[in-house]
Amino acid sequence: MNATRALGTVYLVGAGPGAPDLLTMRAVRLLERADIVFHDALVHPGTLAIAARAELVAVGKRCGKHSTAQRFINKRLVDAAQRHAVVVRLKGGDPMLFGRAQEEIDALDAAGVPWDIVPGVTAALAAAAEVGVSLTQRGVARSVAFATPRVGEGEQASDWVRSIAAADSGAIYMGVGQAATIAAALIAAGKAASTPIAVVENASLPQARTQFLTLAQLPQLDASAWSGPATILFGPQFASAARAAAPGVAETRELQQAHGKRTA
């Protein structure tokens, strides 16, 4: 670390999947104290409103443009810490999953800027809550993998499919635009074509939407019909939810809400 005397601390804060009331209390307290907030594009306006005294700076790169944009964000965080006591970098879901947090942490370390991490509810967990199906289930699913097929510009292709195909259930982030590729890769890696899938869009928000299909049907997913952020869940446990949804997704949501009330 070099000896830059930073005035402030940079907090990498999880904004959760969307609904402002899924923020942690620690996130809320930091947002209330924040002098400046650098936020992703998808952060809910109700969440930003909590940062009442902060300067708000949108730094969203939807679908991760290139690394120059990331380097620019890193630099802005370092600069902000020279001028402000509480700098918040607000990231969708949890900052440590598919959020390029490590690049920001490394840049802050290199500049001698203190930082801290505040976890958030990641999309996979909000999606499972939306469907009302546990990601793990005794005797059915004992392992869960989180993966993304997306690689940034200039990065090497990753062997994302091996680990997730070996897991009982999985959550695929940033995958809706590559449904056919994902289905082919999972089937080639040994997943049954009949594996149940739930695609969940805008989990935690009133406009949440779920579509049930099988791995064999996944290529039929119409990417243009999914404009919000969506996560692809798979696992044997989604079969029963799919059956319940067969008469129509709206009915499933009513069932889930009734279920939610019973167990609340």
Phi-psi region of 132 (alpha: psi -120 to 50; beta: other; left: phi over 0): left
User: Based on CB atoms, which residue is closest to ligand SAH, 74 or 204?
Assistant: 204
Do residues 106 and 76 touch, judged by C-beta distance below 8 A? Answer: no
Beta-bridge partner residues of 145:
170
Pick from 187, 164, 173: nearest CA to 232 = 173
**CB of 74 or CB of 98, closer to ligand SAH:** 98
Distance of CA 253 to the CA centre of its chain: 22
91 classed as catalytic: no
Find the catalytic residue in 21, 61, 116, 261: 61
User: Where do contacts with ligand SAH occur on this chain (CB under 6 A)?
Assistant: 17-18, 91-94, 97-99, 122-123, 126-127, 173-174, 200-204, 229-231
Least spacing, CB of residue 230 vs ligand SAH, in Å: 5
Nearer to ligand SAH, 8 or 229 (CB): 229
Nearer of residues 8 and 18 to ligand SAH, judged by Cβ? 18
For the bound state, the minimum distance from the C-beta of residue 53 to ligand SAH, rounded and expressed in Å, comes to 26
The distance of closest approach from Cβ of residue 61 to ligand SAH in the complex, given in angstroms and rounded to an integer, is 11
**Cβ atoms 144, 167 nearer than 8 A:** yes
Q: How far apart are CA 177 and CA 150, in angstroms?
A: 10
Contact 185, 149 (CB under 8 A): yes
Nearest distance from C-beta of residue 190 to ligand SAH, angstroms: 23
Place of tokens 């840049």: 107
Q: Report in angstroms how near the CB of residue 24 gets to ligand SAH at its nearest.
A: 13
DSSP string, 50-113: T-TTSEEEE---TT---HHHHHHHHHHHHHHHHH-SEEEEEESB-TTSSS-HHHHHHHHHHTT-
Q: Is 139 left (phi over 0), alpha (psi -120 to 50) or beta?
A: left
**Which H or E element spans position 170?**
strand 169-172
CB of 251 vs ligand SAH, minimal distance in Å = 21
Q: Which amino acid is present at 139?
A: G
40 belongs to the catalytic site: yes
Place of tokens 């902000």: 80
- Which among 21, 35, 40, 109 is annotated as catalytic? 40
Catalytic positions, written as ranges: 40, 61
